[in-house]
Chain A
Amino acid sequence: MSRGLCFDATSMLKISHLSHSFGAHWALKNVSFSLEKGEFLFLSGPSGAGKTTLLRLLHGALPVQRGAASVAGFDLTRLSGRTVPLLRRQVSVVFQDFKILPERSVYANVALPLEVRGLAPQHIGRRVRAVVRALGLENRLDTPGGELSGGEQQRVAVARSIVVNPQVLLADEPTGNLDPELSLRLMDIFMQFHAYGTTVVLATHSPELIRRHPDARLLRLEDGMITHANWPGGEVFRCADGGLHLGGGGNGPDPCGLDAPGIPGGSGNSGSSGDDNSGSGAPGNPDGRLSL
C-alpha cells in the first residue's frame, strides 16, 4: 500500500517509506527522504546495502512495491510502459560498467539520447561536440567505444548522460573502475554539472570522494536502511528499527510509521513513533529528532 505524497514545486525527488524485496530478502526497508532541485546527494554503504536497488527504483527499472516515490514530477507508483521512457528523458543514469555500445563511435554513443528524442542532426552535432570537448574526448569522436580505455569509456557514459541536460542524474559507482586521479576529475565534472542546477544522486564506496565534498548531503545505507545521514538543515528521525528517516515530519504525524506488515523491523511502529524514538538512542530529544 502506498502513501500519498505532497509534492511541492521545488521537490525534485521525494520518496516516502520505500521498501523493496527480492523474494524473501528486503533490499530496501522503509526509506524516506527528499531532495530539492540542484541538490547533491552521496549514497554510501557496503555492497548489498540497497544503493543500486534504490537507484534502479528511481529510474523505473524496478517497480515500486511498497511506499511512494516521485522523481522529476513522475509518480513512480503509477509508471506504465508508456511513461517510463518519458521519465528516463528527465533522469539520466551512469553505471559502473559504463554500458556503452562497443561497436559504435564515441559520437554515436553520446548522440544516442538526443536521437531518441528526434532532434535535428545539426542540433545533435552541436550538443555532442560541446559535451565531448568538456570531457576531453574531442580527439576520439570517431573511435569505437570498444577501443577506448576504461577512463575514456566512463567519460563517454557521463557525456551521454549529461548531453540531454537532465533534471536528475543518478550515478551508480561511477568511479568504481577508475584510478584515484580519474575519479577526482570525474567528480569535478559531476560537481560542475550540479552547479548548473541538476539534482545528482551518486552512489559510491569511496570515503575519499565524500570527504572532499562536505557540503553535499549524505545517506549511508546498511542492510536496506538509512543508518547515517549528513543532512544540513533537515529533520532526521531515528525509529525503532534502528533506521533514520529524513524530512518525514512534513508528510504526516509519523515519520517512522509503516503501512506494510511483514517488513523486518517495521511493523508495529505506526502511531507510536514518539515513544519508540525516545527509547532508541535519541537522548535529549523526546520527540525523536536528532541534531546533526
Chain B
Amino acid sequence: MRTFFRLLGRGVADLFLHPWAQLLSMAAVTLVVFLSGLLLMALATVDAELSASRGETVYQVYWRPGTDMAHVRGQWEELRHMPWLASLETYSPDEALTALARRMGETTGQAAGLPALDMGFLSGKSPLPPTALLTFAPREADPEKWAADTQTFLKAMPGVERVAASPLRDELGKAWRAASRFVIWPTVGFLGVVLALVVGNTVRLTLSTRREEIEILQLVGARNWYIRLPLMVAGALQGLLGGGLACLLLLVVHWRFRTALNVPPLLLELRLPPPEQAALLLAVPVLMGILGSWIAVRSR
C-alpha cells in the first residue's frame, strides 16, 4: 500500500520532470477540448433555437356561439395553468370581430385604397364564437401521445365546439425532434471519437520523452503496473487539467459572447452544452490520458 501511494505521488511529481513537454501537451489537450466544446456550444444553440421555433404545437379552441362568457373566461383561467403552455391568446366574440375587421382592413382595404372596415354596428351582436389560441412547447418523451391527450382534453371541455390543430407546425416540431435524435448524438459521438484520438495520441507522444525511463525501469525488473501507475496518474491529471481549462475557457466565451449574435436577423443566444455533454468534455480527456499512458507501456 505504501508503494501504491508512493507511485501515485510520483505520478504527480513527474508532471514537473519535463515541464515543457507537459505544458505543450496540456495546451494541445486544452485546445482540442475547447474546439470540441465550441462545436457542442454551437450545436446546443442551434438545437435550442430550432426547438423553440419549430417544436411548438398550436391549438385553436372554438366555443359554441352564445356560450356564457363568464363560464368561458373561467375556463381560460384554467387553461393558463396547463403544462408546457408557451402562450395563450383569447378572443371574446367582440374581440374576434375587431381582430377580423382589422385583419381584413390590412389585407384588402389598404391594398385597394379603401378606408378601414367599420363593424361597430355589430357590437354586442357578434356572430363569431369565443376562441383561444394555445401555443405549447412540449418536452415530452412521447410527444405524439401528449398531443393526442391534450387535444382530447381540450375537446372535452364544456361548451367547446371544436379544436383545430396546426398540423404543419406540429409536423415540423416532430420532424426536428426526430432529426435531433439522429443528428445531435451521432455528432457528439463523432466529436468524442476525434477528441479521444487526439488526446490519446498527444499523451502517448508526450511519453516518448520518458521512453528511456520506461526502458530502464523494465531493465531493473519493474513490473508493468509499477511503471504504468505513475504514468497513468500523470496522464489522467493532464487530461483533467486540459479538460478543466477548456471548460473554463468555454464559460468565459459564453459569458463574454452570449448575446453577441442576438441581433437581427440572427437573434441567436449562445447556449452552453447540456450537463451530460459538458461532462464528456472532462471525462474523455481523463480516460484517454489514462488509456494513452497504458498503451505507451504496452510492449516490453
Contact = CB atoms under 8 A, between A and B. Distances in A.
Contacts of A92: 220
Interface string B207-246: 0000011011111111110100000000000000000000
A112 B217 contact: yes
A127 interface: no
Interface string A62-104: 0000000000000000000110111111001100000111010
A255 interface: no
Q: Which of A81, A82, A112, A164 has the most CB of B within 10 A?
A: A112
A160 B222 CA distance: 14
B212 A116 contact: no
A117 interface: yes
B107 interface: no
Interface in A36-56: none
A84 B226 CA distance: 14
A207 interface: no
B216 A81 contact: no
A71 to B, nearest CB: 13
Contact of A116 (B17, B215, B220, B300): B220
A51 B114 CA distance: 110
Contact of B217 (A87, A116, A117): A116
A99 B300 contact: no
B17 A103 contact: yes
Contacts of B300: 81, 84
Given A99-B216, A100-B216, A112-B216, A88 B3 contact: no
A88 B17 contact: no
A261 interface: no
A101 B214 CA distance: 10
A103 B213 CA distance: 10
Contact of A101 (B213, B223, B224): B213
B3 A85 contact: no
Contacts of A99: 212, 215-216, 219
A168 to B, nearest CB: 13
Nearest to A86: B221
Interface residues of A, number: 22
Contacts of B213: 101
Contacts of B217: 112, 116
Contacts of B223: 82, 85, 116
Q: Which of A92, A93, A101, A116 has the most CB of B within 10 A?
A: A116
Contacts of A89: 221
B220 A113 contact: yes
A214 interface: no
A233 interface: no
A85 B150 CA distance: 71
A113 B221 contact: yes
A93 B219 contact: yes
A117 B220 CA distance: 9
Given A103-B17, A116-B226, A85 B212 contact: no
A106 to B, nearest CB: 14
Contacts of A113: 220-221
B224 A81 contact: yes
B15 to A, nearest CB: 13
Interface of A: 59, 81-82, 84-89, 92-93, 99-101, 103, 112-113, 116-118, 160, 164
List the 10 closest A-B pairs by CB distance, nearest first.
Answer: A113-B220, A89-B221, A88-B221, A116-B222, A85-B221, A85-B223, A118-B3, A99-B216, A112-B220, A116-B220
Interface of B: 3, 17, 212-213, 215-224, 226, 300
Given A84-B300, A101-B216, 18 more contacts: A59-B219, A81-B224, A85-B218, A85-B222, A86-B221, A87-B221, A99-B212, A99-B216, A99-B219, A101-B213, A112-B217, A113-B221, A116-B217, A116-B221, A116-B223, A117-B221, A118-B3, A160-B220
